[in-house]
Structure 1
């Protein structure tokens, strides 16, 4: 499936899937991230119920602690 990830076209293995599965495919499962799907910011609790489909626009922001 082809999606736009952080502003760039990207081919992701497999078809439509929940955000949680997409994060697994991207190697980001369990990491602190913010996700926006098609212009809507998602709460972590919504990741499992929100479907990423062909042509979706996804923004993933990794949260990093600093000092």
Structure 2
């Protein structure tokens, strides 16, 4: 299926948000996810089904000094 991630169309086989984040090799504890303009809490990721055309915004937190 095709979803839009940070403005770019992406193909994915993953069925839920948690699988999608892990497939992209992102650290779940350091990512904020917005799905169709709504922030999704991390504990809801396994139950959040992805659908064709969903719009995701992924923000990775990075430390530095």
Tell me the matched-pair count: 65
Bigger share in strand: 1
TM-score of the two chains, using structure 2 as the length reference:
0.86
- Partners of 1:34 and 1:2 in 2: CA distance: 20
Shift of 1:35: 0.2
Structure 1 outlier segments of 4+, above 4 Å: none
- Partners of 2:17 and 2:35 in 1: CA distance: 9
TM-score of the two chains, using structure 1 as the length reference:
0.84
Bigger share in helix: 2
- Partners of 1:3 and 1:39 in 2: CA distance: 14
Match of 1:51 in 2: 49
| Superposition RMSD in Å | 1.5
